Amino acid sequence: MIQRPGLSGNSLTSAENAMPESSDLKLSGVLAPITPGNCRDEVPAGAGGVEVRADLFDSRDESLALVSALAQEFAVLVTPRHLSQGGSWNWSEEERASYCIDALERGASMVDVEHGTEAAAILQASGGKVLLSWHDFEGMIGADDLDELTSEMESCEPAAIKVVPTARRLADIVLMLEWVASRPQQAPARIGFAMGAHGIPGRILSLSRGAPWTYGANGPAVAPGQLPVQEMLELYRVCQLDSETRVYGVAGNPVGHSLSPHMHNPSLSSAGLNAVYLPFHLDDFSELEGCWESLRLDGLSVTIPFKADALARADEACEQAASCGAANTLLRCEDELGGWSLRGFNTDFNGVLEPLQGRLSELGGVEVAVVGNGGAARGAVRALLEAGARPTIYYRSEESGGPVAQDLGVDSGPIDGLKAGGQRVVINAPPLGLEPGDPSPVAESVFDSATIAFDMVYDPPEPHFLLDARSRGSETIGGDEMLVAQGLVQFELFTGMKATKEDFQRNLRDARGAGRS
């Protein structure tokens, strides 16, 4: 029996140090940046305040008038970001300090200036409410340097401090989350995460570790890795996460295109679970080592290119994962002694078989052409063999495809050997077709009205493979169906609860309708 870490268990990260009362700081939750490009638009619903990027405005008077107007309704953070810290402020430091004093007099809750600058010194001497910030757009700060920087910043006695480096690996996220959580009781509030694709989980989790606020995009992102405000609030529910939130996610490279968070998170919310599903961009699968417990990471969906790595990391694996040499799911299971291990699964079997079984009453003896010889193709062939079908691998290169077919014990041949009527089903396995402009890997003449064309790729949703098949009268199965089928099994493995097919399908439709693809 699988023992999952409890969905409301004890925190693995110290969060004893309560953050300053929101009445002290006013700003909270997710801040929406205000720029010249969006200043006439409505502020996203649910934002806990706004950040006026004063450095991006050409006119001092225009931005100060905007501060006055916004302060009537919102808590306002004013940021005249310096050129050296990725901003556009090009006036003197005296003028920058003077601007900030004017903004505070007009109702701004706080001003953001960089640690060590002349403007910061002037403002601190004047008693203004300052967020003292530090950024590194190139790399990550080390733990010892972070401790030293923190001491320097806190000695200035600002209202809050903000440290934002750039993540290069998963451990960088962990360092920043632990930094936020370790704030002493009477110290200034800490806002901390890391920029970039690697840093996205930290942006989402920082509030749960005690940060009073984080940042979202309001239109085009103003910093690398920013997610839209509404996505932060509604999809990831950042204001509802806490020190006991269990974490699941999808690990891959790339992973920014993944629709899995959009599929799992609404169902986690509907089930009333204190859990969230995040995208983990990894350069190497080994980045996960040392991060499972600190992130409270209990389960992972695994995608390209790490499925073989996931199987190798698993302490034990199901028969399907072992047979095809790949795991697309890892589950962290506790033992009776308080330790834990990883179990590997391959729910791609379900993703392949369920859509076909919904169209064919019997798969036994059905001829299936599988185009490709990578991990996805291997998994598809293993699933088909388990169901009694007769798969054949079709490859571009005999040198790479032939040995795979031999290892799996199935026939093989070159792609140009595919002919109409020679098979009941044609399955396109990644990585072919991953880009919107990619041509179909097979000739249009392969399809006819008796063929079922199945594309395992869900992005783009309408690849040329399916368009060509449909134009020839073939029945088609898109990658969304596979994504839903395998995802439902993952959801149950992660939570011990069942989500419905209808819910997952609706979640995907909503995501695509919101412009995700």
| Residue 425 and residue 450 in contact, taking contact as beta carbons nearer than 8 Å | no
Structure tokens at 251: 């690990």
Phi/psi at 298 (5° precision): -105, -15
Is 307 assigned a catalytic role? yes
| Residue 368 and residue 425 in contact, taking contact as beta carbons nearer than 8 Å | yes
* Residue 69 CB contacts under 8 Å (≥ 6 apart), including other chains: none
* Residue 148 CB contacts under 8 Å (≥ 6 apart), including other chains: none
Query: How many Å separate Cα 352 from the centre of its chain?
Result: 24
Structure tokens at 272: 């009333």
Q: What distance in Å separates the CA atoms of residue 251 and residue 303, rounded to the nearest whole number?
A: 6
Residue of 320, 415, 325, 427 whose CA lies nearest to 366: 427
Q: What distance in Å separates the CA atoms of residue 381 and residue 275, rounded to the nearest whole number?
A: 34
Q: What distance in Å separates the CA atoms of residue 369 and residue 261, rounded to the nearest whole number?
A: 31
Beta-sheet strand order (sheet of 340-345):
275-281, 246-252, 297-302, 329-334, 340-345, 316-317
- Token pair 């062939």: residue: 381
Q: How many CB atoms lie within 10 A of CB 136?
A: 15
Catalytic, out of 129, 162, 307, 498 = 307
| Residue 304 and residue 326 in contact, taking contact as beta carbons nearer than 8 Å | no
* Residue 42 CB contacts under 8 Å (≥ 6 apart), including other chains: none
Residue of 135, 34, 36 whose CA lies nearest to 77: 34
Mapping DSSP onto H, E and C, the string for 161-206 reads EEEECECCCHHHHHHHHHHHHCCCCCCCEEEECCECHHHHHHHHHH
Q: What distance in Å separates the CA atoms of residue 490 and residue 248, rounded to the nearest whole number?
A: 10
| Residue 101 and residue 67 in contact, taking contact as beta carbons nearer than 8 Å | no
Q: How many CB atoms lie within 10 A of CB 269?
A: 16
As beta bridge partners, residue 394 has 371, 413
CA distances (Å), origin 235, targets 29, 214, 276, 386: 14, 15, 9, 37
Q: Which residues are catalytic?
A: 307
